[in-house]
Amino acid sequence: MSNKDAPYSDKPFDVDVDLGDSTHKHPLPTPKSKPKDFDSYWNKMLNDLGNTPGSPEEEQIPIRSSDFATTYGIRLTSIGPYRLFGYLSVPNDKDLAPFPTLFYFPNYSSVVNPLPQGATHELRRRYATFTLAARGQRNANKPFEATFPGLMTVGVDHPSTYIYRGIIGDCCRGIEYLHSRPDIDPKRTIGIGDDLTLISSGLVGKLSHISCGPGSLYKPINHPEILNYIRSNPNKLDKVSTSLSYFDSRWFNLPKDPICLISGEANGGAMGSDGLKALLNKLGNKATFYETQKSAYKDGLFKDTWIANQFGFDDPIIPKLWE
Amino acid sequence: MTQTSAESYVSKVTKPNDFDDFWGEVLSDLESIPINPEVVQDHIKSTDDVDVFHVTFDSLDNVRIFGWYCLPKKSNRELPAILTVPGYNAEAGVSLNLARKGYAAFDVAPRGKIGSHHQYNPGYPGLLTYNIVDRNTYSYRGFYADAWRAVDFLLSRNEVDSKRIGVQGGSQGGGLTITTAAMRPEIRAAKCSVPYLCGIIDAIELTDTYPYYEITEYLRIHPDSKAKVEETLAYFDVNNFADKVRCPIIVNIGLQDQVCPPQTGYVVFDLLGSKDKNLYPYDGYGHGGGGHIYQPIVDDFFQKHLLPKKD
């Protein structure tokens, strides 16, 4: 859920939250290794998720459906227990099932649309699409309603209460839900988003492809909202630092199987060149790096083409205004 | 999309005969409601050099509206102010960097946005088509008014120089920038990026993406309402406000913008009434409108029109 690297990188107006302060002169020190009980912490989360029935409900939404695709509102239970929401669109031509699938992960914003702004609805003719509202986002905001900015510090004083434990669980639940559907092709299911995509896929597997950029969980102690929180609560520095060490994307196992498209600035952006290099080294030859052109058009065209080719199609489906 | 083909586009939007009466009545209703501002410092978001405040005030239909207000700490004179109006999916931000440049910076969250959604919340998707068959209750009647009322908030502040207030925004914020500059003569400079809500009935034919696609979806379910929808939208189309803009204004568009078609950007730019207007079209760019290239132009523009000359 990054505020720094939207799927299309020249999109400053409608996707991200302006935190007002994305750079800091004095970054805080970050731990050099993961907590000793890091793996058991996340195994406990996965156990909790496994013990929480997903109990999906699917309700058709006529106004969001068309002659070539049907859209459903999906309700799912994640850890907590907490009830989530998602939009699932499935092509009507069942002869083409199982369908290649685009799973758009939550971003750092309240709004979750059936398709992200800027994506053509023609995509739904070829692909199943799924957009997930994690806890706190619109349609998944009862009883917890997130604010943006604000979400990043919710419960941050302790690893067991930090909001991202639940949000990562929500993303894992979303992957499992898609995987449970017979009309979804498990060999052609891509997660699109930021480091939440890599982290949750690393925890539960099951995605065949990933397209992502860096996110807020790379050395999260230096996120602007966290720094503001610590500045106002200097006595909590140790607590917050300990909490966030369980959420630092550097410590998660990367997913073993998926083919990845990693996007961002050549210098690594928020990750820095060392962070980017380390990530690409870990992913090995299954990862392709794409340097953003800072253009929604150029970046979008490249990514749409990459996804189409990965899924066996010669041509991407692109917005009318790009034709 | 080439620049020439986008420039030559002809809009289908028409202006209702009673357009001015309709909005005059809205302004009159708005003026009858006391603003009742409340300003509370947010100590977590405040920094060493900027004070950050939660602001709430009353707007049309007595809906309580929220915003973030940032002031530079070291200032002993009246400040120029910049009002930032949000995009469709975006939330109001915290404009620390504008405050650092010497502005009183106010980011308003019109009704339905987080912080202003407890009395009114059509949702997303939803806002664009909420009561779209009735101009008197259509969502944007209040939404536009909330942005205009944000100017009243700035005018109520002692630290703000009422003769140096600007407005800016991108996408929906670009549309709101034009409606606000049009209806509030106190605005002295306006920056509009990739404007939305301009040529709405044109855009739904030109695009196949959200948010305009919400109207396509609505009309698929309610085909008999098409005439009524078009009638309502004519009162809210930014094109019909544009001739009232008199202040200096800059506009940027992306020639491959798949959300707000560049054709509609050219049309609304031509309609702007200001004698001091400049358009910056960026080839090879989408809905970001080449913002990273454009930003220095924006900084210079506001500095020229709002900031005092350096001694």
- Segment 126-165 of chain B within 8 Å of chain A by CB: none
Which of B247, B23, B268 is CA-nearest to residue B144?
A: B23
DSSP string, B69-117: EEEESS--SPEEEEEE---SSPPP---HHHHHTT-EEEEEE-TTSTTS-
**To which CATH superfamily is domain B19-303 assigned?**
Alpha/Beta hydrolase fold, catalytic domain (3.40.50.1820)
Has B171 been annotated as catalytic?
A: yes
pTM of the model: 0.94
- B95 vs A contacts (CB less than 8 Å): 18, 20
* pLDDT higher than 50, residue A17: no
Across the interface, do B95 and A18 touch by the CB < 8 Å criterion? yes
Put simply, the answer to whether B288 touches A11 (Cβ < 8 Å) is yes
**Distances in whole angstroms, Cα of residue B174 to Cα of each of A95, A278, B84, B133, B278:** 44, 40, 10, 24, 14
Q: What was the pLDDT predicted at A215?
A: 83
Chain B residues with CB-CB distance to A18 below 8 A: 90, 93-95, 107
* Contact residues on chain B for A111, CB-CB shorter than 8 A: 89, 124
pLDDT in tens, A24-82: 456 788 888 899 999 999 999 999 999 999 999 999 999 999 999 999 999 999 999 99
What are B94-126's pLDDT values in tens digits?
A: 999 999 999 999 999 999 999 999 999 999 999
pLDDT of residue A12 exceeding 50:
no
Catalytic residue flag (residue B118): no
Q: What ipTM did this prediction achieve?
A: 0.94
Q: Catalytic annotation on B257?
A: yes
Chain A interface mutation, best of B101, B107, B259, highest count of A Cβ atoms under 10 Å: B259
Instruction: Look at residue A23 and tell me whether its pLDDT is greater than 70.
Output: no
Output the pLDDT for position B291: 86
List of residues 6+ apart from A252 with CB closer than 8 A: A42, A198, A199, A202, A203
B254 at interface of A, judged by CB pairs closer than 8 A: yes
What CATH number is given for A46-313 in this structure? 3.40.50.1820
Domain ranges in chain A? 46-313
Nearest CA in chain A to B129: A63
Nearest CA in chain B to A23: B97
Q: pLDDT by residue (tens digit) across A194-251?
A: 999 999 999 999 999 999 988 889 999 999 999 999 998 999 999 999 999 999 999 9
> Low-confidence residues of chain B, pLDDT below 70?
309-311
